[in-house]
A and B are shown apart, each in its own frame.
Chain A
Amino acid sequence: MIQDLKNFNIKRVNPLVVLFVIFVLMLISFIFLKKSKIELNNSAYNYTQFQEVSKNYSVLKKNWGDSKTAEKKLDKLIKSSGIKNIDVTKKNKSQVIKFEYKQLNLVDQFINKVLNENLQIKKLLIDEKKVELEIRY
């Protein structure tokens, strides 16, 4: 074995063998490249799909699943309504608003604004004297 190694000389390696080995390596590298391209395309496609899902989730959660945002929106609407003596009761996952009114136009404006916001209406009672509204978070 040692003698074989001593006798081995790189100059004696048949260049055609080297050529063949390099050719095989090149074929392997092409297969490797092809697989990597497929992997890259799949990853890019999956990421684009996930971006869509993520965006969808983010928007839906912000509009319909974020209790803090909903609470802020409702507080802002109450303060800007101009309606006096609004009774606000905060429950575990909802907020109840009760008030009696004399000016129908203020109620109209307030209810319109509530309906135009992404707020979860659980209960809405309007009669000739009072309004009762429950918003779920």
Chain B
Amino acid sequence: MPSLFEESIDITGLRFYTLKQEDGKYLSFAYNEHKIIDAIKSAGITFNQVLSIHFAQIEFEELVKGKAQTCLKVNNVCLSFIEEKLVQIPVSLRANIDNSFDISNLKLSKEKIYLDSTSKYLDKKHTYTLVGVLLLVTIFTFIKAYSNYSEAFKYSDKKERLITTNNMPSTSIQTNALIKKYKKIKEKQINIRETIEYVLNSRKKIGARVVGFDFNKEKLVVKFKGVEAKKITTYLEKEYTLNKAVVKDGITSVELSL
């Protein structure tokens, strides 16, 4: 229907309402929404009080049937139907004025329009397009956030699986305590092996021969032969503190703590 008006009037800023009366016959209305809104405002009515807007052409038709040529006075305006069209007649003509008309008794039809209260700069179509875009962004963001939370929650499952697979204690305190214990054992055992290596290297370094070796708990007693005691103790004292050194029958026994 807009094309119906396009050729004759500038339709920019106008809206249309069309009522089909019978096949091939339509009643169309073109209206300037902002003018209606301005009129409502100037009448001191708040916008929220207005449920809908009806066309007098449609609503008054039933009332004037059989009252042809009668002018209905409504709010100092004289309305009359001439050739099925509602027209205003100047009150000064005073032609068959019917003062009995009461607008409050009017039963409104279903033919109505709703006013668009959006900004003049942002029409309804663009507003809803923008709403649609923002809604899509919001939905996508919520889905992504949910996906992130879901992914984060999966790490808890993975952690539980690691605990089960590696037969770990249920709490991190217990795990850390065991790690500390095992590390201590490892360090001690490495220390024992390094000490044994150092002691056995005495053959290469100072020509001493190890003839006895006794490690028990924290103490190590080594018996050397073939070199004087001073040389042995000097060699060992470079790395360790000696508890005692005894020479008997040409054998030097040295005790050191690990």
**A-to-B contact residues, CB < 8 Å:** 7, 9, 11-12, 14-16, 18-19, 22-23, 25-26, 29-30, 32-33, 35-37, 39-40, 42-44, 46-47, 50-51, 53-54, 56-58, 60-61, 63-65, 115, 118-128
Contacts and interface: CB of A to CB of B under 8 A. Distances in A.
A18 B141 CA distance: 18
Interface in B90-143: 114, 116-119, 122, 124, 127-128, 130-131, 134-135, 137-138, 141-142
A25 B146 CA distance: 15
Given A16-B119, A36-B145, A121-B215, 11 more contacts: A16-B127, A19-B130, A26-B137, A29-B138, A33-B145, A44-B155, A46-B155, A64-B186, A65-B178, A123-B215, A127-B212
B245 interface: no
Q: Is the interface of B mostly helix, strand, loop or mixed?
A: helix
24 contacts: A9-B114, A15-B118, A15-B128, A18-B128, A18-B131, A19-B127, A22-B138, A29-B145, A32-B142, A32-B145, A46-B159, A53-B175, A57-B168, A58-B166, A60-B182, A61-B178, A64-B186, A64-B189, A119-B189, A122-B216, A122-B217, A124-B213, A125-B215, A126-B213
Interface residues of B, number: 58
Given A53-B179, A57-B168, A121 B142 contact: no
B215 A15 contact: no
B63 to A, nearest CB: 24
A118 B189 contact: yes
Nearest to B176: A53
Contacts of B158: 47
B166 A56 contact: no
Contact of A11 (B114, B131, B138): B114
B122 to A, nearest CB: 8
A7 B51 contact: yes
Nearest to B134: A22
A7 B51 CA distance: 7
B182 A32 contact: no
Given A33-B144, A54-B168, A15 B189 contact: no
B166 A43 contact: no
Contacts of A47: 155, 158-159
A61 B182 CA distance: 7
A123 B214 CA distance: 8
Contacts of B212: 126-128
Contact of B162 (A33, A54, A127): A54
Contacts of B122: 16
Contacts of A60: 178-179, 182-183, 186
